[in-house]
Structure 1
Amino acid sequence: MPRLLFLTQSGPTLPSVRFRVLPFVEAARAAGVDAAWRRYPKTALGRVAFFAALRRTPVVVLQKKLVSPLELALLRRKAGRLVFDFDDALWAAHPGQGARGGSETPGELARLLRVCAGVDEVVAGNTFLADKVRAAARRVTVLPTPLDTDRYVPAGAARSASGLPVVGWMGTSCNLFFLPPLLEALAPLAGEMRLSVVSDGHLELPPGFAGGCLRWSPEAEIPALQAMDIGLMPLTDDEYTRGKCGFKLLQYMACGAVPVASDVGFNREIITHGRDGFLAGDAADFARYVTDLVRDPGLRARMAARARARVVERFGLAAALRRLWPVLGLEGFPV
């Protein structure tokens, strides 16, 4: 068995696996650590086979999967150090789910707290998540989702040749829910910008907007981000969104797009309002800040440079490794 094993609830395309697991496995291997990851079995039969084959492993990281008490006990017996990592409000319903949207799902918080109480350490994606489980957990470390800022880089001069400024949004299809009220507020600006929506789903753009929807893929992701001048992150304000870790903001900022985001949760810890992005209280604020950025190329350039610098300094992969290695008992390994 490897020295370090990550167990994930989903496959490699899910952002939490792509950015909170795979880079750490790769970095650990580069540092000489025998590291691996695998998806936690979905079926009862698969879990029986998994535990039968699992040998004593020095460090096991359970990523976002809320296991049963029996499975937690089995993992506890097999792991020298057992860590639980999460970067979403796992106890809350998505805001788009009707009357329940954004509120606590009965029983899910209890499941989360039980798992957190049964491990050696919890790694949470932001302070809101950490505070939610702090009373139950033995130890809690806050680790924002890191970004490889050597890969996510600005496009440079190519962006300025595209004509109208590109205002973009990137996200999963379930989060397209947040966009319509914002696009309505931006309608008066439609003739001065291009709109780019990048997702695994489709959104019909309102009349008057130039641009379109681009199907997300791993290959299209970075070029689509590099084409943006301004990146949007509208959210409601509820239990679910306060648990968000603002990762799309980091992607925008690293690739040279100025972020304009709802003044909610961890967004406030990523953006320094007026310096490297804007925090908006409502749709009218979004419209005002996007208008300023669209009409002032110099302002965009200055804020984009500051945004890039902030991500590199605070949210880069090297900074994350310096926090995570001691949690995993890998002190002294290179970052």
Structure 2
Amino acid sequence: MPEAPTFIFGRMRKPVGGCSVVRMEEPLGLIGRRPGVRVHLEDGPIRLSLHRPEERRIFVWQRPIVRWPADAALLRGLLQHGYLIVHEMDDWPEHPGYAGNGFIGFRGVHAVQVSTPPIADFARRFNPHVGLFPNQLATLPPRRPAPARDEAVLFFGALNRTADAQAILPALNRVLAARPQVRVDVIHDEAFFRGLATARKTFRPLCAYDVYRQALADADVAVLPLADTEFNRAKSDLKFLECAAEGTAVLASPVVYAASVEPGRTGLLFHDADEFERQLLRLVDEPALRATLADAAYAHVAEHRMLAPYAEAQWAWYDGLLARQEELTAELLRRTPELVG
């Protein structure tokens, strides 16, 4: 029996890094290839007139800061237009906009989809209907050969990592002093860039996702530091996947990455600054080690971390929610009585 026609409106946040690509554009793009499924993605004004009368309707809302009572009309409008409302969340929800508005962005929707177990546990405090869909890669570029050059290029580029990176900066500067063939490429973090005790460094501000991915591809080693904090423990291993795809060896903290990186096979881990220094010296001095780690990481992602089967699971979850939409709407209104009326 053919599936009922379905319209998915993906309301993305303004692009920052690759979060809209990985969490919205790629999975919903794959789902939109199904017969009878139509997807519309945008980061502009929310228009409630894009669906067709015969279509089931899903509104996937990426990281919304829902303000009460300012957004009451929007939530009610979505319900009146027959949308199943799904909150997409892939970061720790510590923004004051959530708590300050009574977490209505979690309570006042039909369901919440998230990227990691800690975020799932948080969301279940306010909504029992939580789908966990870890970050995956939609495509892999061809495996690139290791560049033939005398220098070793280190890469660091991330949001909200300044404090984490400062903890390893003295050790990194010791490596830079001992190995003058090392160059460091930094994206976004000006404090980290200024702290590098070398002239062999380049800086770029926050950039488009394809520029970031090319910078990874141009590097030999990516440094992925994360301190053991509640905020960091909720993060995903997406940076490891991106590095693996671009053929870049990783030197990572065990926070988050211990579950993904097999030490000595798909990357290296460090538990403190001294171990960071030792492991980084190995990677700088041993191009063959870098290539072996990068090859194994690429193969691991190709076999285990591609998006297609996960997008199928995400669609099955949506389809199941739509089958219960009337029941879930009644539950939503009991959970969020301020929306009634």
Q: Is the 8 A contact 2:250 2:268 kept in 1?
A: yes
Could you say if the C-alpha distance between residues 314 and 139 of structure 1 is closer, same or farther in structure 2, counting changes exceeding 3 Å? Answer: farther
Amino acid at match of 1:81: L
Q: Is there any run of 5+ residues in structure 1 with no aligned partner, and where?
A: 42-46, 93-104
1:182-201 to 2 correspondence within 5 Å? 182-190=168-176, 191=179, 193-200=181-188
SS at 1:146's partner residue? coil
Q: Whole-Å Cα distance in 2 between the matches of residues 278 and 227 of structure 1?
A: 19
SS at 1:3's partner residue? strand
Q: Whole-Å Cα distance in 1 between the matches of residues 180 and 139 of structure 2?
A: 30
Could you say if the C-alpha distance between residues 237 and 111 of structure 1 is closer, same or farther in structure 2, counting changes exceeding 3 Å? Answer: farther
Q: Whole-Å Cα distance in 2 between the matches of residues 62 and 301 of structure 1?
A: 40
- Among 261, 267, 270, the residue aligned to 2:257: 267
- Aligned position for 2:335: none
How far is the alpha carbon of 1:59 from its aligned partner?
1.4
How far is the alpha carbon of 1:4 from its aligned partner?
0.8
- Among 178, 182, 185, the residue aligned to 2:164: 178
1:12-91 to 2 correspondence within 5 Å? 12-32=15-35, 33-39=37-43, 41=45, 50=47, 53=49, 58-68=57-67, 70=72, 71-91=74-94
Q: Is the 8 A contact 2:60 2:88 kept in 1?
A: yes
Q: Is there any run of 5+ residues in structure 2 with no aligned partner, and where?
A: 322-341
Aligned residues: 304
Amino acid at match of 1:178: D
Amino acid at match of 1:65: P
TM-score, normalised by the number of residues in structure 2: 0.77
Q: Whole-Å Cα distance in 2 between the matches of residues 271 and 306 of structure 1?
A: 10
Q: Whole-Å Cα distance in 1 between the matches of residues 151 and 226 of structure 2?
A: 26
- Aligned position for 2:241: 250
Amino acid at match of 2:105: V
How far is the alpha carbon of 1:65 from its aligned partner?
0.4
- Aligned position for 1:123: 113
How far is the alpha carbon of 1:127 from its aligned partner?
0.9
SS at 2:258's partner residue? helix
- Aligned position for 2:290: 300
Could you say if the C-alpha distance between residues 269 and 77 of structure 1 is closer, same or farther in structure 2, counting changes exceeding 3 Å? Answer: farther
Q: Whole-Å Cα distance in 2 between the matches of residues 111 and 253 of structure 1?
A: 39
- Aligned position for 2:221: 230
The C-alpha deviation readout for 1:164-201, integer Å capped at 9, x for no partner, is 222211224x5345333323112222125523334245
Q: Whole-Å Cα distance in 1 between the matches of residues 34 and 214 of structure 2?
A: 30
Could you say if the C-alpha distance between residues 91 and 79 of structure 1 is closer, same or farther in structure 2, counting changes exceeding 3 Å? Answer: farther
TM-score, normalised by the number of residues in structure 1: 0.78
Amino acid at match of 2:198: G
The C-alpha deviation readout for 1:261-317, integer Å capped at 9, x for no partner, is 2222x3233223333123322222221221222222332222212211222233322
Q: Is the 8 A contact 2:92 2:231 kept in 1?
A: yes
Amino acid at match of 1:294: V
The C-alpha deviation readout for 1:68-118, integer Å capped at 9, x for no partner, is 4524343333344322111001225xxxxxxxxxxxx5x734758533333
Amino acid at match of 2:169: L
Amino acid at match of 1:66: I
Q: Is the 8 A contact 1:90 1:112 kept in 2?
A: no
- Flag the structure with larger Rg: 2
Q: Is the 8 A contact 1:155 1:227 kept in 2?
A: no
Kindly indicate whether residue 155 of structure 2 is the aligned counterpart of residue 168 of structure 1: yes
Amino acid at match of 2:119: L
Kindly indicate whether residue 128 of structure 2 is the aligned counterpart of residue 138 of structure 1: yes
Amino acid at match of 1:169: F
- Among 132, 137, 140, the residue aligned to 1:150: 140
Amino acid at match of 1:77: Q
- Aligned position for 2:327: none
Aligned-residue identity in percent = 23
Amino acid at match of 2:150: G
Indicate the RMSD between aligned Cα atoms, in angstroms: 3.0
